[in-house]
Amino acid sequence: MGFALTILVGTALLMLPNSRVGPGAASFLEALFTATSAVCVTGLTVVDTAVYWTPFGQVVILLLIQIGGFGIMSFASVVGLAIARKLSLRSRITAAAETKSVGLEDVKGLVLGVVRISLAIEITVAVLLALRFMLGYGEPVGRAIWLGVFHSVSSFNNAGFALFSDNLMGFATDAWICVPISAAIILGGLGFPVIVQLRRQLRTRPFSWSIRTWTMNTRIVLAGTIVLLTLGTAYITVVEWSNPNTLGPFDWAGKLLAGFFQAVQTRTAGFNSIDIGQMDSASLLGMDVLMLIGGGPAGTAGGIKITTFAVLFFILWTELRGEVAVNVFGKRLSRAVHREAITIVLLAVGVIISATAALMLLTDISMDALLFEAISAFATVGLSTGITAGLPWGGQVILILLMFIGRLGPITIGSAMALRERHTTYELPKERPIIG
């Protein structure tokens, strides 16, 4: 309800006449789609953000991205702290649920730590980008600062909104633009629990870090991020190396930078430095997988999350080896985690397949493009082959629902819609069907 209300407020603000360039106001669907994409930190658009929205409209989008990326309940908790200087039990419970906190005693410190980390990263990246826009491209000081702030917030929150009509294609080989944005995306995609733990260790033991003291969540997220970024960069760069419409015109350094940048975007940020619509179908399929996996939990990233994918991988590895318990980094996984991971993946696949089938019935667009769009919306990525604006209103409504479900998570939506929670006091006899 909090996310839905924020989206409706953003829609109303974007429908104001002073939010749109030119006479009249934005249509309800245009405003709703943009507000949903901003609050759900997706980045899919049906209009050109750079020329369609006025500075006021762009500020509204920026605020929606910040609130949506930080989390509605966490944002409400910060407001409550600012006003009342304390958190009620209800606020602590809701903030703990959203930030995936284990206990209630440290919620206040965790929420405030998240605010400090977010602002520190966003300010640092904003300064770097503003200096580059001002010194490297001759932008006026005010314009350079605005570009730096907007793209910094958009990148750390994994939103993918850009203030250029071609997104970031004009900066494909500019490391001073692509690297800070990529760094912000990676940090935002790690998830706040990982960032907070690393920050605490840096403050308490800056010269004596020990991986053994990290939680299983931190180890899985960091290892998974490194592996997926490496494989994604290699895969995209190799497949697109000779494509004259993407990486072909660049030198080897530019190809590596652009390949890395696009691999980073599959962490659920929707920037693009090359034309996604001109990429090879094999690249799109590989990006489908990376987008579906997403980033770390309890952060600004979407997808089923690295931890969910890792749990499924270790379950598979354990079954193939004939072992009983699933062990990860010297610890045993709870069977409840097995069921949760399987549930999330099956729900996600079911939602994506259903949405893709519905889009295929509404349009004549190829399945690979529609599947890419559906996964991008559900995983709150924002990458597009360029078909979003051309979809019929029914198709755009489907993408709106996908973004909303993907941001909150299928289990959250399913639990909210459940009529009641059942508690059984008995167990039925066991019987085993033939598997495989």
21 located within any domain: yes
435 located within any domain: no
In angstroms, the CA 287 to CA 355 distance is: 18
At residue 436, the pLDDT reads 78
426 located within any domain: no
159 located within any domain: yes
Query: How many domains, in total, are found in the chain?
Result: 1
155 located within any domain: yes
436 located within any domain: no
Q: What is the mean pLDDT of each run of 10 residues along the chain (436 residues)?
A: 91 96 92 96 94 96 90 59 57 59 58 81 96 96 96 93 94 96 93 81 71 85 95 97 95 96 92 95 96 87 91 92 88 86 91 96 95 95 93 96 88 67 80 85
Q: pTM for the complete prediction?
A: 0.89
At residue 191, the pLDDT reads 82
For 7-35, letters b (16+ CB in 10 Å) and e give: beebbebbbeeebbeeeeebeeebbbbbb
- Quick one: tokens of 153? 């917030």
Give whole-number Cα distances, 319 to 315, 316, 329, 334, in Å.
Answer: 6, 5, 17, 15
431 located within any domain: no
Token match 């943009």: residue?
Answer: 34
In angstroms, the CA 383 to CA 264 distance is: 11
Range of the domain at 123: 1-419
In angstroms, the CA 125 to CA 417 distance is: 40
Q: Residue 429 has what DSSP assignment?
A: P
At residue 186, the pLDDT reads 93
In angstroms, the CA 245 to CA 251 distance is: 14
Cα Rg of the chain (Å, integer): 22
134 located within any domain: yes
In angstroms, the CA 215 to CA 211 distance is: 9
